[in-house]
Amino acid sequence: MADPRPAAPRPRPRWLGPSAGVGVGATDFFAAQRANRRRTLVLLVVLTLIAAGLGYLLGWFMETDGRLPSRPGGGVFSIGGVLAALAIGAGSIGWSAVSLAWGGRMVLAMTGGREVAKGDEPQLVNVVEEMAIAAGQKMPRVFVIEDEAMNAFATGTSSGNAAIGVTRGLLKGLNREELQGVIGHEMGHIANLDTRYMTVVGVTVGLVALVSDMILRVMKWGPGRSSSRDRGGGGGGSGGLALILMVVLLVAAVVAPLAAKLVQFAVSRQREYLADATAVQFTRNAAGLISALQKLTAAAQPFAGASRATQHLFIVNPLRQFGSKASALMATHPATEDRIARLQALGRL
């Protein structure tokens, strides 16, 4: 005799996160947005502190090396270091504010997309409208990059200034079901506020790299007055400290931008998984995105609108493909086979 009790619900895979299964309400996106705001703030603070710390080391070194006026007996406290740290910290905050206000426009300018209306691309705009309704979001602007490569991206720091861009090759190479999957993925980035995060963090990571490059340039200027006196027989203490700081600065200048990039890439990979799952919520169809990912990965190639500054924004990396055996640390995107395996598991729920 059959058991009259209802079957227990199948457990949802942990990678989907809380309340991320198919058929989940819009409150899940609000939770994802809140989490993204918190993570964005935390990571921006960390990256700003890294940049300010590099600035302090640079100012301290230049003060100890005699290139800036020093305060006698200051020890580890350096007025030059404090001033440099404050200047770079303020610059980081300013750059973040600029990226929040203009980041989306800067990305669109870099990719070279052309805005289109429904009369220009009726199927594309219609699919974007469908996904915007499914996400409960304002209709984003739609752009087409006139290139035969197959790729897509989303940008904008809020739903009010969001935009989705696709290449001409993607429009030619995908059917409507596959196009829905890709647009659903990009709309997922917008709904989860990933686009704000990726734009602002990308700018801040760039600032860390800029400060590191500044440090390396200062190292090429040659020794300051303190180091010259030390070689002449005086100032051994300050010269020795300057040498130690020089070594620390060189190490920090090399390691800091790499560490910032690794953090950015790690978070970017997790957001790709979440956007894939969100696309299935919007389309109720995992097969379309699976097929699209297979086609996009096979046809991925560099094009004029893609660069190292924007590679993490695209649905697949246009500059480099990462297989399952590739180093996870240096990958901007998860391996396509891993994404497909998770989508297949999601489709069976």
Rounded Cα gap, residues 345 and 28, in angstroms: 20
Rounded Cα gap, residues 349 and 345, in angstroms: 7
E strands, the chain, in order = 114-115, 141-145, 152-155, 163-167
Rounded Cα gap, residues 192 and 111, in angstroms: 22
Rounded Cα gap, residues 194 and 264, in angstroms: 12
**323 sits in which H/E element:** none
Our answer to whether residue 178 is catalytic in this structure is no
* Phi/psi at 45 (5° precision): -65, -45
Amino acid 165 reads G
> What is each CA distance from 225 to 107, 145, 197, 239, in whole angstroms?
44, 54, 44, 9
Half-sphere exposure for 212 (CA within 13 Å, toward CB): 21
Of 309, 310, 213, 202, nearest to 256 (Cα)?
213
Q: How far is CA 110 from the centre of its chain?
A: 16
Active-site choice (63, 121, 178, 186): 186
Of 152, 43, 158, 145, nearest to 99 (Cα)?
158
Radius of gyration in angstroms for the set of CA atoms belonging to the chain, rounded to a whole number: 25
Pairing relationship of beta strands 141-145 and 163-167 according to DSSP bridges: parallel
Q: Is 182 left (phi over 0), alpha (psi -120 to 50) or beta?
A: alpha
Query: Which amino acids are annotated catalytic?
Result: 186
